[in-house]
Amino acid sequence: MSICHTSLRNSSFCLVLAALAAGCTIETDDDTQGELPGIPGDPGGQAPATTINNIKPAAQFSLDASESRRVRVNLLGLIDPTTQAPIEFLSGETLFVTEDDVLKGLRVTQADASNQLPSDIVFVVDNSSSMDQEADTVADKIIEFVNLLESSGLSTKVGVVGVNGDITGAIDLHDAAGIEAYLKRSGRSGTSRTVGFDGANAATLTEEAQTMNPSFGGGENGIHGIAFAEAAFTFRQNAQRVFINFTDEPTQPANKPEWSTKTLCARWTPTTGTIHTIWSGSRSLEETASTTWTENVSENPAELSKCTPGGIVQSVASNASDLNLTTLPLTVALGNSALVEFATSDPDAAHTLKITVKNGATADGETIFEDLVYGGGSQ
């Protein structure tokens, strides 16, 4: 096991710093070179069957600019739900990639300052009145989180969307300084921290919100913020799309199925991104479930995470006093992302690609990407 992954298990804070800052290349035992430099030949055989199915890999794809048959996979890190430790991606041991039923030879390189895998992160923040007691803490923790990621050398952009039934504020994907300036605008405190549109394209964001808001209706609904960001934000090609939904209320579609959890999950594909839920309700999600969740009216926000690859759910105190984004499993997962490279049989064709991760007897799962055109998503 590499030093960087050994370090990850020592403590929460060191775990994050080691994952984010101490990059390493993951060596494989197969030194046989394939048709492309540095990539092993296809090993033959099949990926192992999954039996636990408690993890789901998430990835983005592109083709190398100089070698068109070299596929570059931006693979989001995964946390073992049983051990709570990051999974080390090892070709032929824990990680398997199958293209059109052919098991591929892989080169796997850990993300670090010299291997900057892009991640575009959107915080969707419920800024209704019930969030007032935690709003300042949430804003401060977002700033802390963004500064940590930027100082680590990772290629990260962050945006914010404020939601209160309608889209009430936003700033497009930006660096740490831009996010801090937005959340610390003069005279802003509490829920007003995420009210108002800012940044170079504030006018465009305002116009998009005015166009979309009439179709929403109802109360707090993180799906509104996610859909707004998908329509209005400038996501980078091959960047992991990560949505983090802060709320203390059920998802409220107001009897409009088009804004329900079921509809979002039905349209979501493995390349759309991952949705993570941070819940600060006065009661736990389990306690709330027995009396509150009703389809198309008041839905469990955690279900948005359960239907997307790699989605993580985290509960915090009702005033968010215990919130620490730097030690969340999501942060550890981002720091354990990896570049996975293999030689495709045809760079121009659509493929069926399967990514399988199996971590001993504690975690396994797979994601199948249908009709995948590398660099162009799914047809």
Asked if 306 contacts 121 with a C-beta cutoff of 8 angstroms, the reply is no
Asked if 368 contacts 352 with a C-beta cutoff of 8 angstroms, the reply is yes
Give the pLDDT band of residue 21 (cuts 50, 70, 90). Answer: very low
pLDDT of residue 155: 87
Give the pLDDT band of residue 300 (cuts 50, 70, 90). Answer: very high
Kindly state the average pLDDT of the residues 149-168. 87
Residue 377 has pLDDT above 70, yes or no: no
Give the pLDDT band of residue 376 (cuts 50, 70, 90). Answer: low
Kindly state the average pLDDT of the residues 174-193. 91
Lowest mean pLDDT across 23-27, 64-68, 270-274, 345-349? 23-27
Residue whose C-alpha is closest to residue 247's, from 176, 304, 297, 332: 304
Q: Which amino acid is at 162?
A: G
Residue whose C-alpha is closest to residue 337's, from 365, 357, 361, 323: 357
pTM of the entire structure?
0.82
Q: CA 88, CA 94: separation in Å to the nearest integer?
A: 7
Q: Where is mean pLDDT largest: 6-15, 190-199, 312-321? A: 190-199
pLDDT of residue 158: 95
Q: CA 112, CA 329: separation in Å to the nearest integer?
A: 18
C-alpha 225: how far from its chain's center? 15
pLDDT of residue 333: 82
Q: Which residues contact 87 (CB under 8 A, 6 or more apart)?
A: 55, 77, 78, 79, 80, 94, 336, 357, 359, 363
Q: CA 309, CA 209: separation in Å to the nearest integer?
A: 27
Residue 364 has pLDDT above 50, yes or no: yes
Residue 136 has pLDDT above 80, yes or no: yes
Please, what is the average pLDDT of the chain? 86
Would you say how long the chain is, in residues? 379
Kindly state the average pLDDT of the residues 204-214. 97
Q: CA 257, CA 356: separation in Å to the nearest integer?
A: 33
Asked if 325 contacts 331 with a C-beta cutoff of 8 angstroms, the reply is yes
Give the pLDDT band of residue 16 (cuts 50, 70, 90). Answer: very low
* CA contacts within 13 A on the Cβ side of 207: 5
Kindly state the average pLDDT of the residues 132-150. 84
Give the number of other Cβ atoms within 10 Å of residue 194's Cβ.
Answer: 30
Give the pLDDT band of residue 283 (cuts 50, 70, 90). Answer: confident
Kindly state the average pLDDT of the residues 192-205. 95
pLDDT of residue 290: 67
Q: Which residues contact 338 (CB under 8 A, 6 or more apart)?
A: 26, 75, 77, 89, 108, 109, 110, 111, 117
Asked if 136 contacts 101 with a C-beta cutoff of 8 angstroms, the reply is no
pLDDT of residue 153: 59
Give the number of other Cβ atoms within 10 Å of residue 220's Cβ.
Answer: 22
